[in-house]
A and B are shown apart, each in its own frame.
Chain A
């Protein structure tokens, strides 16, 4: 099993009446709600959390990309990944990911991912999302019906830029470059690639064609994810793929651990409520720009089947959220049991652990993070022993990696000869 500690980085200062007074947490979120001075502490605490997770032995620490979004403060995940890469020295740096069609020209992704992979000594796990419609279309103005074609071209260009050892010309529809010669190249060429998907057959096939891991980054929990991931495994079987390694799939789950079930509710309930009530308040018109989904996907009924009802979750009790699987919460034993259900039920080898939730403060986050690392994770390690040798979907770092030097002060800088 691979456990990635993942933080969406929500803005923790949304007012209690946010849902009532504001239209949307995303796209046209009220700019006055952001305060850069508070933001300074928020970013630094969130980076502390990621570094703490590295120290606690998580396999990966994860960041992602959202724009104009008060529950995701990372327009540039690569900046966050760079910020942690010299202080978190063991975990994979999981960037899930760069929305390819938004980088112009897309070789920027090839360059920045290569830089991250080289700085971290081959610890990059790369994500290639299409990006949500909110981010891609409404915030970044990409034309919905052309987003996927642009994405595909960007993907092909990035892979070629990593692969080729001679300069080449790229005459694409969306990108024209006379001299493509990406410097530096990644250590892992290519790095393991994960694709966040939302249930379309095209994305299942894209992952299977390219040997990419399919990730379902849902906030509605593992019970509701069953049909979607089953669709992926069915497709894999239909195509007669050589193996059904669980590392071909990943899932994001909100997890809260305490000493007892009751303590979990007492400690985390308000923060979970903050997330579901305030952070997921999205104006319905921004959910899907027409043309963003393929006709095939709409016709498959995937949307009505898979699209979660966050309106409902916004007002759910702790008990309902736990029972509905939106969150896995409780004592280490409770959490382990539910995690086993998740891992076996969805057949996943990669878990993106959403351990920081809503406006959870640093100390509580550390508490839950540590309990999971010490009392849950070790007991879930061997869920898929027959696939232990599947290295395709995780990073392969250099055995001998550079150690960052100590933080310099004046005395050290002048060699102590003051």
Chain B
């Protein structure tokens, strides 16, 4: 019934991309404006927003993970990649499958242990600043690495998909 699964997947992929990019742009714009406002307040009126500095620091963490997620999507992480230059195309595919699966496994582990970290903080009810609970700010760690794990897994598997005749 309804649309085929592949269509649903494609559409949700598009939505996720929009949300990710939107969040990244929004965060960076927010950082620029808030940091500039803070300087203006400090130098011109000799005051400051007490929540601005911790917010900016958490925003850097979010930008880091959202940026790394985007880098995973673009296949644009910092890497050495000295050997694959000398491999044939077909061999390269399988080598990249191995590195992608390995990356997916490690990101999966990071996501899982990040999740446990967030859970501990939630149980403790620790507060980061004002009344913002720490776990909300840390949530991006398991989320980010989880998304990266999935991306590595999917790109890895797509590499060895049999080429469809056109």
A and B form one complex: no
Which B residues fall within an 8 A CB radius of A? none
Which A residues fall within an 8 A CB radius of B? none
